[in-house]
A and B are shown apart, each in its own frame.
Chain A
């Protein structure tokens, strides 16, 4: 290998090494065409996994609208059977990346479940989940619910009204069972948050003693069911309710087997939801590819929210194809186009039910990561007390706004997006200001995780152990 005629391999290696500098000093890579500061992708053929949920939309859109191809990436999207299979796929390298639960990269990194270094350069969406109860439970709750003037139940519905039903069932020796999608899923934490806010204990995990079922002291027993099977499991009577992403809550309404009682938007306004996960090894081995794929995803997310959701009907049609979500268009449309049907016929506007780009939805905030970590601590998945600093370091290890910023700056330089589309990268700390819009009125400040945990009557805090 001579220096006068650098081979392609050498050239790419150089590109990779100088990637961090590249965003600021494009002149270092004069061999490249003027507009592209990040080199060509090192790996062009990629396979990404997803679960059949509407929040996989950025992946489908980036593929169908050619955003991946614009970046020189040839992407295959593969539906996965469940979150465990999906995570294993990413860890073993069978998948190059995947639509993941926000808790998955965090749990994998801290070694809860399968240990692996997974990072996320891109947050996929805000909100998008709901809690559905079986018809018989709903009928028992209904008489006690506060009503609006038109006779329909007033929202948000708190779990306080579910508590008598749960207590009654438990007293009769018939445990109250609910489904969620994965032990470290947003859904698990949201469901637990909602139940605990209503005085129903959702149970502790005790991994140090080998308990990963999360049923210790539980009033309501939560168990894992893959999202697409939620309605069928509810219909079979195995569970009395579930927390899941769309379209599986709306599906219950259509099938007349259950009633969605609350959306996660009402539990925590604009809560972060799925993320796009890749291994740290992948990001280090293929730095250019990583930036290119984040660029494609950012463009897709923007497309989804553009012109006040004008593209959503088209997105709904794409998602309803059998190789993506595959549910009926009208079911998907319900939540994607700004309304949510609670009881049959009780359709209410929830314009922010699915947010893909507004409110900097795609930026991987450290404070979002820390919230998930606090919930893992609250329910015993993190068995020991951890310092505030530990929370921050872990968040930094997994959430990678630096990679996001590289992609965003490229898009701005190419004129595809404007600086106003993004947070101000010079002053952004990665911590959202304290947020108070939770169903129980508790305020969350990402910089003070331990103080935050002190506020909950139910849940581990301080030096507590199960």
Chain B
């Protein structure tokens, strides 16, 4: 009965449900305190420390922002976002009028609707960054998992590739970026580009940096499949592909996902750095622009971005974890 319940209700709610049923109130309160109370206390202590320390740091741009200023700037950023949307609507209306006017004078004109040329808001930048990081991550995974499997299955290939992987793995995105930028502008030449160069540059940099953890972990996962399973596969005379799909993949899923989670974390960190350096749209550019602005609001705005970057990183990781739980065959494994 009890075990059933804990499987069906989410962990955070379970104590409440049990409490409502009057099941050993003391023990439930204890669980509740640990799962909900302690994180809240931790957060409060952090906020207090933050505002206390912030008040003591005087920078050339004024006092270091505390939680209150940061919240204030979060609201300001939202207000700006809404205002920018209104301006965009007005822009499209004006554009339509102008096109109509011109068509009246110049019937041969083939009108083209131009996108709103205004600045991207903080929220636009979040979306841009998310799109970039996910595209980079997906491409990296598509490359890394098959490569990892191939390398993992053959110890000779592993020996051949391992040094390369070890050398490229620790390379900072900032070292790749100039090369990627130059190559992209040289190679990607079209009149009607489907992607912005800046998007490609950021994305490729992300790919180059987050390829490795997935590849290594996949290889290791593939390499450490239980001997019994391999024997079974041999006894059944499974073909190579069937072997990979039926035996190798399922048993290396936990390791693959460990790699994927590491990769996604790296991808997110790399992207912010790449956007800052390359001035390509996204949260990194937002941070850099605010740093360049040097206004008295800049630090608080950067802090908003820092918290949002952290929160998104956390959510991405939780997302991967949930995915891992869903596809992992070993439901008893402790994943955190």
Contacts and interface: CB of A to CB of B under 8 A. Distances in A.
Contacts of A79: 279, 289, 292
A40 B60 contact: no
A326 B289 contact: yes
Given A8-B109, A80-B279, A92-B185, A74 B117 contact: yes
A322 B109 contact: no
B228 interface: no
A72 B105 CA distance: 14
Interface in A230-254: 231-232, 235, 251
A72 B102 contact: yes
A7 B108 CA distance: 8
Interface string A70-111: 001011110111000100000010100000000000000000
Contacts of A228: 292-294
Interface in A179-235: 228-229, 231-232, 235
B20 to A, nearest CB: 50
B279 A320 contact: no
Contacts of A437: none
Interface in A8-22: 8, 11
Interface string B183-199: 00100000000000100
Contacts of B336: none
Nearest to B196: A94
A344 interface: no
B86 interface: no
Given A228-B294, A231-B60, A45 B114 contact: yes
Contacts of B106: 32, 40
Given A40-B109, A44-B112, A322 B289 contact: yes
A45 B117 contact: yes
A413 interface: no
Given A40-B102, A228-B294, A231-B294, A69 B60 contact: no
Contact of B293 (A44, A45, A74, A327): A327
B105 A33 contact: yes
A312 B119 CA distance: 22
Given A94-B197, A231-B294, A235-B60, A75 B109 contact: no
Contacts of B185: 92
Contacts of B115: 45
A65 interface: no
Contacts of B317: none
B296 interface: yes
B98 interface: yes
Interface residues of B, number: 28
A328 interface: yes
Nearest to A75: B117
A356 B298 CA distance: 28
Contacts of B290: 322, 326
B94 interface: yes
B110 A8 contact: yes
B295 A8 contact: no
Contacts of B296: 328
B60 A257 contact: yes
A155 interface: no
B94 to A, nearest CB: 6
B114 A74 contact: yes
B267 to A, nearest CB: 23
B279 A85 contact: yes
Contacts of B292: 52, 79, 228-229, 326
Interface string B87-108: 0000000110010001001101
B294 A322 contact: no
A52 B279 contact: no
A255 interface: yes
Contact of B295 (A72, A231, A326): A326
B60 A255 contact: yes
A465 interface: no
A69 B114 CA distance: 11
Contacts of B94: 66, 69
Nearest to A63: B117
Contacts of B301: 322
Nearest to B60: A255
Nearest to A88: B185
Interface string B105-127: 11011101011010100000000
A429 interface: no
Contacts of A81: 279
A438 to B, nearest CB: 32
Nearest to B298: A326
A323 interface: yes
A372 to B, nearest CB: 27
B112 to A, nearest CB: 7
A92 B188 CA distance: 13
Contacts of B197: 94
A235 B59 CA distance: 11
A325 B109 CA distance: 37
A320 B115 CA distance: 25
B304 to A, nearest CB: 12
Given A11-B108, A40-B102, A327 B295 contact: yes
A33 B292 CA distance: 46
Interface string A289-333: 000000000000000000000000000000010110111100100
A92 to B, nearest CB: 7
B293 A52 contact: yes
Nearest to A74: B114
Contacts of A80: 279
Interface string A35-70: 000001000110000001000000000010010010
B105 to A, nearest CB: 5
Contacts of B298: 326
A40 B112 CA distance: 13
Contact of B98 (A72, A85, A326): A72
B98 A69 contact: yes
B114 A44 contact: yes
Nearest to A330: B296
B294 A327 contact: yes
Contacts of A45: 112, 114-115, 117
B295 A322 contact: yes
A325 B60 contact: no
Contacts of A8: 108-110
Contacts of A76: 117
24 contacts: A7-B108, A8-B108, A8-B110, A11-B108, A40-B102, A45-B112, A45-B114, A52-B292, A63-B117, A69-B94, A69-B98, A72-B98, A74-B117, A75-B117, A79-B292, A85-B279, A235-B60, A256-B60, A322-B290, A326-B290, A326-B292, A326-B295, A326-B298, A328-B296
Interface of A: 7-8, 11, 32-33, 40, 44-45, 52, 63, 66, 69, 72, 74-77, 79-81, 85, 92, 94, 228-229, 231-232, 235, 251, 255-257, 320, 322-323, 325-328, 331
Given A45-B112, A77-B119, A322-B301, 9 more contacts: A7-B108, A8-B108, A85-B279, A94-B197, A251-B294, A255-B61, A257-B60, A323-B119, A328-B295
Which 5 interchain pairs have the tightest Cβ spacing? A326-B293, A255-B60, A323-B119, A76-B117, A74-B114
